[in-house]
Amino acid sequence: MKEFIAFNEQRAEIYWWMSSLFARELTEQDIEQYRGGDMVTFLSGLAMTPELKQPVEAFRDAINRLESREDAQLELAADFCGLFLSTPKSGALPYASMYVGESGLMNDKPAQDMNKLMEEYGIAQRKEFNEPADHLAVELDFMGNLIIMANQQGSPEQAEPVMQAQLDFINTMLLNWLPAFAAEAKQRDQFGFYAAAAQVLIAFCHLDAQFLRGEEQ
């Protein structure tokens, strides 16, 4: 059970990291952390997994290229705003409704489905993050909490329904729209930092689904 809990904690941390990355602009301190210390170790560890090696290395390349930007923090913040806080015509909006909703408008069925899931599992959206429930950061934060919920069960057998719920969530609430989102980000993100991050996320979701299906990695 200890190994099960420790591995789940690592999985949750990755989802929470990606959630924070798509939730807000990076600060100067954030960028410094990406350039050294624990973050370098963390990314190096991810890159050791064959399925993640290429996307993580592309992401690390984008981090290294920040050195060449005259004011990296401001320019990266501008990239964030241009991609995620703009319009469907100019950005890559991080809302599931924009890709798999029926109307192509905000707060469509995916947002309603997320609200139902959060109510069902008693997982609340962070009050300070005032976005529709189908925002990518909200969905990734939910996934992290769902993983920790499995750790709170008495045994791996009791945790199994929650683990199955995680697999269902990846398939029906993340991978059903993330490829379209990532394609938009790749097209619109000229510098490539967030486009590379989206590719890391997709690769990890596929890898995590493989783990949840019980397939060897």
Q: pLDDT tens digits for 28-71?
A: 999 999 988 889 999 999 999 999 999 999 999 999 999 999 99
Query: Is 60 exceeded by the pLDDT of residue 108?
Result: yes
Query: Is 80 exceeded by the pLDDT of residue 193?
Result: yes
Q: Which two tokens stand for residue 61?
A: 């390349």
Q: Are 40 and 59 in contact (CB under 8 A)?
A: no
Q: What is the pLDDT of residue 151?
A: 95
Q: What is the mean pLDDT of the chain?
A: 95
Burial letters 81-106, b for 16+ CB under 10 A, else e? ebbbeeeeeebbbbbbbbbbbeeeeb
The structure's pTM equals: 0.96
Query: Is 90 exceeded by the pLDDT of residue 171?
Result: yes
Task: Read off the pLDDT band of 217 (50, 70, 90).
Answer: low
Q: What is the pLDDT of residue 97?
A: 96
Looking at mean pLDDT, say which of 38-42, 126-130, 169-173 comes out highest: 169-173
> Which whole number is the average pLDDT over 75-103?
95
Longest dimension (CA), the chain: 53
State percent of the chain over pLDDT 90.
88
